[in-house]
Amino acid sequence: MSAKRRAKPVSVESKQQPLREGAPLTRLVARLPPTVPFTGPETLERRSGRTFALRLGANESNFGPSPHAREAMRAAIERIACYADPEVYELRLALARLHGVGIEHIVVGSGIDDLLGLIVRAFVEPGDVVVTAAGAYPTVPFHIAGYGGRQELVRYLDDAGGLRNDLDALAEAANRTNARLVYLANPDNPTGSWYRGDAVRAFLDKLPSGSLLLLDEAYIELAPIDDPSDPGILLPMNPDDPRLLRLRTFSKAYGMAGARVGYAIGRPEVIAAFDRIRLHFGVNLVAQMGALAALEDTDYLRYVAAEVARGREEYAALARELGMIPQPSATNFVAMDVGSSTCARALLAALAEQGVFIRMPGAPPLDRCVRVTVGTPAERAIFADILRKIWPQVTHVADS
Amino acid sequence: MSAKRRAKPVSVESKQQPLREGAPLTRLVARLPPTVPFTGPETLERRSGRTFALRLGANESNFGPSPHAREAMRAAIERIACYADPEVYELRLALARLHGVGIEHIVVGSGIDDLLGLIVRAFVEPGDVVVTAAGAYPTVPFHIAGYGGRQELVRYLDDAGGLRNDLDALAEAANRTNARLVYLANPDNPTGSWYRGDAVRAFLDKLPSGSLLLLDEAYIELAPIDDPSDPGILLPMNPDDPRLLRLRTFSKAYGMAGARVGYAIGRPEVIAAFDRIRLHFGVNLVAQMGALAALEDTDYLRYVAAEVARGREEYAALARELGMIPQPSATNFVAMDVGSSTCARALLAALAEQGVFIRMPGAPPLDRCVRVTVGTPAERAIFADILRKIWPQVTHVADS
């Protein structure tokens, strides 16, 4: 085109000019720390030059996705040249049917991480307070800091009832600070603990007006159902409650962490606000088609939940056998209290030496624990062998 | 667990309380319009109850991805239960090699849309100015508004040289407003026009210090190379230039729009800033593995570029045959100037009636054009038949 002919040659002067400085970062971003919420296992592998043989640290589902979801994702590859539907309509419709709500109550994002970022962006002005437990999901403080919010941290309960969220203290902190957002994971990560739906409902009723409860239910499909006539962990669905936003994901029970898809359920006014700021073409095609197929395979979901329940019991028995205190869990992992932070760190390192990737929470009192994802029966057998072998050495070194 | 026993029943009082209001949106988000950057073809289909038979409106690559990339993406499905590497290390390494830069010069995101949002967030304080062409990629103003920035719009040139960016006016606007960011697509969307690398270099030298040029090179792999000894459209790579951030994608020539993967090349200080705010686990596994394989298949990329060049010529001939003015294009689409906005709108509607999805730019003077993606030879033949059939009716109605 004619631009070619019009182009002026670069002058020698311009080449010799020193480089100018470019644009400065915003004041907010400039003062953010260069830390990341999680160091990935791949990074640890590159640092150590050693590959993990057992990946039990990220609460992925080693049972994988439903075969139907797998098939749908393979079919999506055939259409991958096309952008996916920016409204994520089919998946939202299926989710609305599943939960007995309207499509206007559902927004889909690239995982709960994406949705958490959008929520903090939509509701937190610089200086506004978000209440979370100290040691809760690290991506929450990452986003709070990223938008200039202020964290109010509440220590986990640590008594005969086990390590768990302190609902009274969380509600007290929210009222004291006039918090905008309150984050609660139920079931909880990294403890695995959980509250019944009626306890969550009572907690919600204690929060200050003008606040929104982010109820992260990433693991809820894995929670035990002792008595089908008892709602148990499930908070009854009132999608128009202006005080509540529920977060769900396909990364855990559905086995699709690598696909990036999660959703929020909330009142239409809040859901509509996402459209003002979300990446409209952000939820990829494989994720959309895979999630839709995964939802239909309820048998597979039940199979995974049953396998995970079996694994939790095995882990609990193993921990007790070795003198650790396994925390009750409604998730696909078990936090094992090994007595001290020193011991937990030593165990983490010793397991890494053996090619086992697990994690430990950083904040006290949780830092007495290591957190182990429920693997397949074969993986659990290998893990048990390794743990039985190295545990005496770890306790010996940690004691000395 | 014991939480079950401790839970208090929900009181009747709490059930009867009126719902409180929940958290207010931030002042910034509250005043954002509920508009979306693009209405997807699926939404148009749902509205009309009619399915598009030809999808030529989103500049997707109807040639699809490389067979090797397809194979790699199918393999990724087998590992989809795992989170992908948050550092995107392997892909960044391959991209660094391709461009002869360091891995510290590359950040990968979920498409250019994602990267654009992060850049605006990192550099634009409320009230800061971003200079763009009026009618440029709609996701740019979406993000500018989303972070409270102010747009300074520059009209496209419209003379015998064709519809194209007005580099002098863009530089003037940037200096006049002391702009933080300047957005330029080269090759351009939606005109298809392009400037030589030396013209872009001269433009960069005219921008004010304290600004950053976002050079969106989404279509650059499709630009014609007339003479291999001439750098042509390619701005020479100086990855440490603090004034420049280059944006690339796998959505266009690589045929992976539905996978969501793009990258930016810039100086390490700017690239490192992304880590403070990006979604660290955001780039999905299928995208990472597919992009890595796509990069290796340079033969396929050449094949697509040659096919697209053939299609551009066919479209130009077709447009001329019907009395339209095809704009020269270095992309996988051709903007056809049909003489008036009224006529362009009528043509868009008539094509939709026939099951053909295309788009038209909204801002004058571009709104005289319809923008048609280069399809496969079979799609182009069908499109040509339909266009020849309906064009006389459209001009008849538009004239009356």
Whether the CB-CB separation of B183 and B176 falls below 8 Å is answered with no
B289 touches chain A (CB under 8 A): no
| pLDDT tens over chain B, length 400 residues | 444 444 343 333 334 344 457 899 999 999 999 877 889 999 999 999 999 999 999 999 999 999 999 999 999 999 999 999 999 999 999 999 999 999 999 999 999 999 999 999 999 999 999 999 999 999 999 999 999 999 999 999 999 999 999 999 999 999 999 999 999 999 999 999 999 999 999 999 999 999 999 999 999 999 987 666 666 888 888 999 999 999 999 999 999 999 999 999 999 999 999 999 999 999 999 999 999 999 999 999 999 999 999 999 999 999 999 999 999 999 999 999 999 999 999 999 999 999 999 999 989 999 999 999 999 999 999 999 999 999 999 988 766 6
SS in 3 state form for B204-266? HHHCCCCCEEEEECCCHHHCCCCCCCCCCCCCCCCCCCCCEEEEEECCCCCCCHHHCCEEEEC
Please answer yes or no on whether A259 and B286 come within 8 Å at the CB atom: yes
Rounded Cα–Cα distance for residues B306 and A32 (Å) = 46
Contacts of B212 in chain A (CB under 8 A): 22-23
Domain B41-61+299-399, CATH 3.90.1150.10 — does that match?
yes
Cα B210 to chain center, whole Å?
25
Cα B89 to chain center, whole Å?
24
Angle at A370 between CA A366 and CA A374, to 5 degrees: 125
The alpha-carbon gap from B400 to the nearest alpha carbon of chain A, in Å, equals 34
Instruction: Tell me the torsion sign for CA atoms B131, B136, B138, B139.
Output: negative
For tokens 């898809």, name the residue: A261
Nearest residue on chain B to A31, judged by CA atoms? B276
The model's pTM:
0.94
Q: What is the pLDDT of residue B398?
A: 66
Whether the CB-CB separation of B162 and B153 falls below 8 Å is answered with no
Write the DSSP assignment of A363-389 as a string of letters: STTGGGEEEEE---HHHHHHHHHHHHH
Q: Which amino acid is at B30?
A: A
Among the partner-chain residues A29, A78, A160, the one whose CB lies closest to the CB of B273 is A29
A251, two tokens: 């990364």
For tokens 């006014």, name the residue: A269
B12 touches chain A (CB under 8 A): no
Q: Where are the alpha helices (H) located in chain A, listed in sequence order?
A: 3-6, 12-16, 27-30, 41-48, 67-77, 89-99, 112-123, 139-146, 167-177, 197-206, 268-275, 285-296, 298-321, 341-353, 377-399
A83 phi-psi bin (left φ>0, alpha ψ -120 to 50, beta other): beta
φ/ψ of A370, rounded to 5, equals: -110, 150
Return the residue in B36, B68, B260, B325 with the most chain A beta carbons within 10 A, the one to mutate for interface testing: B260
B274, two tokens: 């992304």
Question: Quick one: DSSP state of residue A11?
Answer: P
Contacts of B211 in chain A (CB under 8 A): 22-23
Instruction: Tell me the torsion sign for CA atoms A330, A336, A340, A345.
Output: negative
Residue range B329-388, pLDDT digits in tens: 999 999 999 999 999 999 999 999 999 999 999 899 999 999 999 999 999 999 999 999
Cross-strand pairs, A326 = A336
Contacts of B74 in chain A (CB under 8 A): 74, 77
A261, two tokens: 């898809």
Return the residue in B19, B83, B234 with the most chain A beta carbons within 10 A, the one to mutate for interface testing: B83
Please answer yes or no on whether A284 and B285 come within 8 Å at the CB atom: no
Rounded Cα–Cα distance for residues B269 and A21 (Å) = 11
Name the burial class of residue A241, with classes exposed (0-12), middle (13-18) and buried (19+) by CB atoms within 10 angstroms of its CB. buried
B79 touches chain A (CB under 8 A): yes
Please answer yes or no on whether A80 and B1 come within 8 Å at the CB atom: no
Residue A20's SS3 state is coil
Please answer yes or no on whether B258 and A286 come within 8 Å at the CB atom: yes
Same fold, B41-61+299-399 and B67-296: no
Residues in chain B: 400
ipTM of the complex: 0.93
Please answer yes or no on whether A70 and B77 come within 8 Å at the CB atom: yes
Q: Which of A53, A96, A147 is nearest to A354 (CA)?
A: A53
Please answer yes or no on whether B74 and A74 come within 8 Å at the CB atom: yes
Residues in chain A: 400
Whether the CB-CB separation of A287 and B284 falls below 8 Å is answered with yes
Residue range B191-219, pLDDT digits in tens: 999 999 999 999 999 999 999 999 999 99
Rounded Cα–Cα distance for residues B213 and B217 (Å) = 12
Please answer yes or no on whether B61 and A80 come within 8 Å at the CB atom: no
* Residues 13-32 of chain B whose Cβ lies under 8 A from any Cβ of chain A: 14, 17, 19-27, 29, 32
Enumerate the domain spans of chain A: 41-61+299-399, 67-296
Name the burial class of residue B30, with classes exposed (0-12), middle (13-18) and buried (19+) by CB atoms within 10 angstroms of its CB. exposed
Please answer yes or no on whether B81 and A89 come within 8 Å at the CB atom: no
Please answer yes or no on whether A89 and B212 come within 8 Å at the CB atom: no
Contacts of B78 in chain A (CB under 8 A): 70
Architecture of domain B67-296: 3-Layer(aba) Sandwich (3.40)
For residue A182, the surrounding DSSP H or E stretch is strand A181-185
B154 phi-psi bin (left φ>0, alpha ψ -120 to 50, beta other): beta
Please answer yes or no on whether A81 and B257 come within 8 Å at the CB atom: yes
Q: Which of B290, B282, B292, B291 is nearest to B118 (CA)?
A: B282
Contacts of A20 in chain B (CB under 8 A): 209-210, 242-243
Nearest residue on chain B to A191, judged by CA atoms? B1
Question: Quick one: DSSP state of residue B327?
Answer: P
Does B190 sit behind a cis peptide bond, omega within 30 degrees of 0 on the bond before it?
Answer: yes
Cα A307 to chain center, whole Å?
21
Residue A197: partners with Cβ closer than 8 Å, 6 or more residues away: A231, A232, A233, A234, A235, A236
* Residues 186-205 of chain B whose Cβ lies under 8 A from any Cβ of chain A: 193-196, 198-199, 201-202, 205
Nearest residue on chain A to B181, judged by CA atoms? A23
Q: What is the pLDDT of residue B323?
A: 97
Contacts of B25 in chain A (CB under 8 A): 122-123, 273
Rounded Cα–Cα distance for residues A166 and A168 (Å) = 6
Q: What is the pLDDT of residue B229?
A: 66
Which residues of chain A are modeled with pLDDT < 50? 1-19
* Residues 147-186 of chain A whose Cβ lies under 8 A from any Cβ of chain B: 160-162, 164, 180-181
Cross-strand pairs, B164 = B157
